[in-house]
Every structure is written in structure tokens, then in C-alpha cells.
Amino acid sequence: MYSHIMVPVDLAHAEQLQKALQSAADLARLYHASVCYVGVTASAPSSVAHTPEEFAAKMEQFSQTQAAKHQLPNVSSATYTSHDPTADLDDTLMRAASETGADLVIMASHVPGLLEHVFASNAGYFASFSKVSVLVVR
């Protein structure tokens, strides 16, 4: 049913993604699909990495850890550098879904709070405007 699953990953909050990561692994094994873990970083140093190259290396390590943990034979990682990830994260993930050829995107979402009454969530925006199937996991 699905052949290529994309999973957006925020390495700064990877521990909060466990349900989405497990869901992606389960569906990948069920449909013999490949999984691409996608990360978006700024060109400026962050709490995760000093450079985009270091971030890409950490994303690759993360994808290999997920492959070993969930026994997934076909995983990859992709990284995108943004001038302001908080401003253009949605557009960057839309581009990533297109460029990676994803036919399913599995995104983690957090429990809505007060800020969601003012700002739309990234997962909500992505699910509303994406051209591929989206599974939002809370």
C-alpha cells in the first residue's frame, strides 16, 4: 500500500517522537516500505549541531539507529538547511515530501495547548495542505 514513508525528525526532541517512530517502523515492516527520516536545521549553530554538516551526520546516525532498533532494511536520512526553520518549516517539509518521493508522511504532534489557539501546528498545516497521505501521531 505504501512504498516510501517520510518521518520528520526534530533531533532536539527525539525522545518525544517514540510513538511516531514506532508507527513508521510498524507500517514499513507491514508494507515492506522504505523510511526516510528528514531533519530541518538552521545554518547557524544550534543546541543539536554546530554546522549543517554536523547535523546531517547526526541525522544519518539517527536513521541507522532506528534501522537497527526496528530491524528496518531500507532507511535513509535527508537534511534541509533553512534560514529560519520556525518560519518556513512547513514549506520545507512539503518540499522534502516531494523530493523524497514519499507516499506517506508520519508526523509526531504534541498535546495542544494555549499557543495552538494563536498559532497553527506544523502537523495540522502539513496534513491540511500535503498532496500525500499524512498520519499525525500524538
Predicted pLDDT of residue 111: 59
Q: What is the mean pLDDT of residues 49-77?
A: 96
Predicted pLDDT of residue 124: 82
- Maximum average pLDDT range among 68-72, 80-84, 86-90: 68-72
Q: Which residue segment(s) compose the domain that 90 sits in?
A: 4-136
Predicted pLDDT of residue 117: 58
Cβ neighbors of 91 (< 8 A, separation 6 or more) are none
Quick one: 106 exposed, middle or buried, by C-beta within 10 A (0-12, 13-18, 19+)?
A: buried
- Maximum average pLDDT range among 34-38, 45-49, 86-90, 124-128: 34-38
**Domain holding 114: CATH number?**
3.40.50.620
How many structural domains compose the chain? 1
- What percent of the chain shows pLDDT beyond 70? 92
C-alpha cell at 103: 507516499
Q: What is the mean pLDDT of residues 67-83?
A: 95
Q: What is the spatial distance between Cα 130 and Cα 127, in angstroms, rounded to a whole number? A: 6
Average pLDDT, the chain: 91
pLDDT in tens, 89-127: 999 999 999 999 999 999 998 755 655 555 567 888 888
Q: What is the pTM of this model?
A: 0.90
C-alpha cell at 119: 498559532
